[in-house]
Structure 1
Amino acid sequence: MTFPEWTKPGLYGALGGAVAISILGFTWGGWTTSGSAQTMAQDLAIEEVTLAMVPVCLNNSESDPERAEKLTNLGDLSGFGRRKAMMETGWAIRPGSDASDRNLAEACLAGLNLDGS
């Protein structure tokens, strides 16, 4: 069986077009793989749970009898030292957990508005 003369260039063109469409779709078209979509969904869920826990952190800070001392200490620090000190206050502990959460500590620091901004 013989194939028409245009078959070989036609197959190369179809293959090249499929590759080009795939590259354009994944780079500019917004296509994602299942793994990427799962990672994005998990990151969004963690962020939303952290934001939902900020009022709990702020309530913990308001009910702490040593609040003024701890706020003064937090105000004197900056950057990673401030986040570490926030984690040591015990305000950034999620209910049911024994350890402070770094993301919650950062969000709670933003909620405390120590810089006045």
Structure 2
Amino acid sequence: MSVGESWNAYRPSKAIWFWSCVGAAVLTMIVGFSWGGWVTGGTAAKQAQAAGQHAAAQLAANICVNRFLKAPDAAAKLAEFKKVDSWKRDSFVSDGGWVTFAKMDKPVSGAAELCADQLASAEAPLAADATGTAPQQESVN
């Protein structure tokens, strides 16, 4: 009997079918959780919570930068900010109250670090005129 004939004549038992199905299911789960990006419900909830907190911190940081740069003494504060050691800048922002909003007892978690990072690369704002508006920069055509 040749290999091809033996292959065609083979009839697996119910136990072989059962364990083959179990093995395929286990292998599918291993591949799915390891490389397929599958997560459990608990992990998905933790990831959603972390994403929400990061989004809130990012929004608060953007508001912080805007409030910082729109303040009347923004140029002086920015110069003072840039003199502070880099590892203390988040404390400077937090202590200044730029990441603590109305009806909040404490700053938004993570916002001070993000705000400090954005302010570190910010340029000094243009001085406002008597009307309270910044002068327009001329564009070169």
Say yes or no: TM over 0.5: yes
1:33 equivalenced with 2:40 (yes/no): yes
Where does the alignment leave 5 or more consecutive residues of structure 1 unmatched?
none
Query: What is residue 22 of structure 1 aligned with on the other side?
Result: 29
Query: What is residue 13 of structure 1 aligned with on the other side?
Result: 20
Query: What is residue 93 of structure 1 aligned with on the other side?
Result: 100
Q: Deviations over 1:2-27 (max 9, x none)?
A: xx971222222211111110111111
Where does the alignment leave 5 or more consecutive residues of structure 2 unmatched?
1-10, 124-141
Q: Distance between the aligned counterparts of 1:76 and 1:98, measured in 2? A: 25
Q: 1:63 to 1:12 in 2, by over 3 A?
A: same
Matched residue SS, 2:19: helix
**8 Å contact from structure 2 (residues 60, 108) kept in 1:** no
1:57, distance to aligned residue in structure 2 (A) = 1.1
**8 Å contact from structure 1 (residues 53, 104) kept in 2:** yes
Q: 1:28 to 1:99 in 2, by over 3 A?
A: same
Any residues of structure 2 matched to 1:1-117 within 5 Å, and which?
6-61=13-68, 62-63=70-71, 65=73, 68-69=76-77, 71-73=79-81, 75-79=83-87, 81-114=88-121
Q: Distance between the aligned counterparts of 2:97 and 2:105, measured in 1? A: 9
Q: State the one-letter code of the partner of 2:31.
A: L
Matched residue SS, 2:39: coil
1:66, distance to aligned residue in structure 2 (A) = 8.0
Q: Deviations over 1:84-106 (max 9, x none)?
A: 23221211113321212341101
Q: Whose helix proportion is higher, 1 or 2?
A: 1
1:43, distance to aligned residue in structure 2 (A) = 1.5
Q: State the one-letter code of the partner of 1:77.
A: D
> 96-105 or 68-77: which moved more?
68-77
